[in-house]
Amino acid sequence: MTVQAAEIPVLETKAVTKHFGALTAVNGVSLSVSHGIQSIIGPNGAGKTTFFNLLAGFLVPDKGSIFYRGKEITGLAPYEISQMGVGRSFQITSIFPNLSVFENIRVACQSRSKSRYNFFMSCEKLPGVQIAARKILSQMGLEDWADSPAKNLPYGLQRCLDIGISLATDPQILLLDEPTSGMSVEDSAVILKLIAEIAKLMPVVLIEHNIDMVLTISDRIAVLYQGLLLAEGTPAEIQGNQEVQKAYLGGY
Ligand SMILES: Nc1ncnc2c1ncn2[C@@H]1O[C@H](COP(=O)(O)OP(=O)(O)OP(=O)(O)O)[C@@H](O)[C@H]1O
Ligand SMILES: [Mg+2]
């Protein structure tokens, strides 16, 4: 009889805790992500962004450990975690407003190129970078805007560019913090469709407030409440969970 090796999660936390003074923003959270869309939901101040900052190395946990493909990454610097393959976008758009849409993506791709420190080499001589940037531009539906300054993009497309910039760092897993914040329902639906496409290529951890969309798009959902992991499961399990109903979902 062959024994199947247990799947090693792409990203895993074990009892991760983060205090800010007297406040426990993240309290003993254990979560593992292997594939598809893992959403994180919870009310304002539940600890969602703090949890992302711990995963990406912007904060160091006070207790607990974090693993990337089975290798401990607790305490590593953000650039080290990013270079290992953990890509993230921020709750606030982080584009270069005066660079063109294409240049925004190209600069991010170049940061991963072996020639990135050869400042005297024209970027036209880095064909791999150009090709990668074009591919992401088309993946994000931004081809028509390639030469426009990024600041001229409508807000919804700025968020697409933001995700494109995260993809340009060649991630193996993508962390997206409220990619649809401030967007219309129609624009949000477009972004979430793009995210579903990306999730076919790599696992996506998604913080999202729109519960209807979360229930539709997610493979699994984690509910944070006052820093605690209240529940984790499939959309149906979360929707049927009494505690989640009481604490957060209310009318659902
Ligand atoms: N750097 C910090 N210093 C002190 N307190 C912080 C810091 N960052 C977050 N907090 C607090 O930690 C708690 C969790 O914040 P966090 O931003 O993680 O929540 P969130 O779930 O992302 O909320 P939202 O849905 O509003 O984005 C909040 O009470 C917040 O005020
Ligand atoms: Mg947040």
Tally of domains in the chain = 2
Q: Assess whether the C-beta atom of 241 lies below 6 angstroms from ligand 1.
A: no
Q: Kindly state whether residues 2 and 77 are assigned to the same domain.
A: yes
What pLDDT shows up at residue 5? 60
- Asked whether residue 245 falls in the same domain as residue 127, the answer is no
The residues placing their C-beta within 5 Å of ligand 2, an ion, are 48-49
Residue 64 Cα, ligand 1 centroid: separation in angstroms? Answer: 19
**Same domain for 69 and 184?**
yes
Q: For residues 181 and 150, is the Cβ–Cβ distance under 8 A?
A: no
Alpha carbon of 58 to ligand 1 centroid (Å): 13
Region of poorest pLDDT, from 44-53, 64-73, 164-173, 226-235: 164-173
Same-domain status, 117 and 216: no
pLDDT tens-digit map of 12-64: 999 999 999 999 999 999 999 999 999 999 999 999 999 999 999 999 999 99
Mean pLDDT comparison of 28-42, 91-105, 148-162, highest-scoring range: 28-42
The verdict on 75 and 126 lying in the same domain is no
* CA R_g for the chain: 19
**Ligand nearest to the Cα of 43, by number:** 1
Nearest to 111, CA basis, from 169, 194, 154, 167: 169
| 98 and 78 together in one domain | no
pLDDT bucket at 185, cuts 50 / 70 / 90:
confident
Higher confidence at residue 72 or residue 110?
A: 72
Query: How far from the centroid of its chain's Cα atoms is residue 159's Cα?
Result: 12
pLDDT at 183: 87
Q: What integer is the mean pLDDT of 206-223?
A: 94
Question: Rounded to an integer, what distance in angstroms lies between the CA atom of residue 212 and that of residue 115?
Answer: 44
Evaluated on CA atoms 46, 52, 57, 63, the torsion sign reads positive
- Check residue 165 and give its pLDDT: 92
**For residue 247, what is the domain's CATH number?**
3.40.50.300
Residue 120 above 70 pLDDT? no
CA of 125 to the centre of ligand 2 (A): 40
Give Cβ neighbours of residue 80 (< 8 Å, ≥ 6 apart): 57, 73
Which of 151, 170, 189 marks a domain boundary?
170
Amino acid at 182: G
- Atom 1 of ligand 1, nearest CA residue: 20
CA of 232 to the centre of ligand 1 (A): 21
Asked whether the predicted pLDDT for residue 140 surpasses 80, the reply is: yes
Nearest CA to ligand 1 atom 5: 20
Phi first, then psi: give them for residue 78, nearest 5 degrees. -55, -40
- Same domain (yes/no): 23, 78: yes
Provide the β-strand partners of residue 100: 149
Residue 198 contacts residue 222 (beta carbons within 8 Å)? no
Atom of ligand 1 nearest to the CA of 21: 4
The answer to whether residue 113 scores a pLDDT higher than 80 is no
Q: Are residues 213 and 113 in the same domain?
A: no
pLDDT, averaged across the chain: 89
Residues 5 and 74 in one domain: yes
Is the domain of 219 the same as that of 143?
Answer: no
Going by pLDDT thresholds of 50, 70 and 90, the confidence category of residue 10 is: very high
Same domain, 71 and 136: no
Residue 152: HSE in the Cβ half-sphere, 13 Å Cα cutoff: 12
pLDDT beyond 90 at 129: no
Mutate to test the pocket of ligand 1, among 26, 29, 41, 49 (most ligand atoms within 8 A of CB): 49
Domain edge (last residue) among 137, 170, 203? 170
Closest-approaching ligand to the CA atom of 58: 1
Domain boundary among 170, 189, 211: 170
Q: Which residue, by CA, sits nearest to atom 3 of ligand 1?
A: 20
In three-state secondary structure terms, 175 is strand
Amino acid letter at 183?
M
- Which residues are paired to 173 by β-bridges? 86
* Domain containing residue 226: 1-85+174-252
Is the pLDDT assigned to residue 249 strictly greater than 80? no
Atom of ligand 1 nearest to the CA of 59: 1
**Per-residue burial over 181-207, b = 16 or more CB atoms within 10 Å of its CB, e = otherwise:** bebeeebbbbbbebbeebbeebbbbbb
**Whether 98 and 195 share a structural domain:** no
The predicted pLDDT at position 115 comes to 52
Question: 80 pLDDT exceeds 80?
Answer: yes
Is residue 208 over pLDDT 80?
A: yes
Q: Is the CB of 133 under 6 A from ligand 1?
A: no
The amino acid occupying position 197 is E
Task: Please give the average per-residue pLDDT across 185-203, as a whole number.
Answer: 92
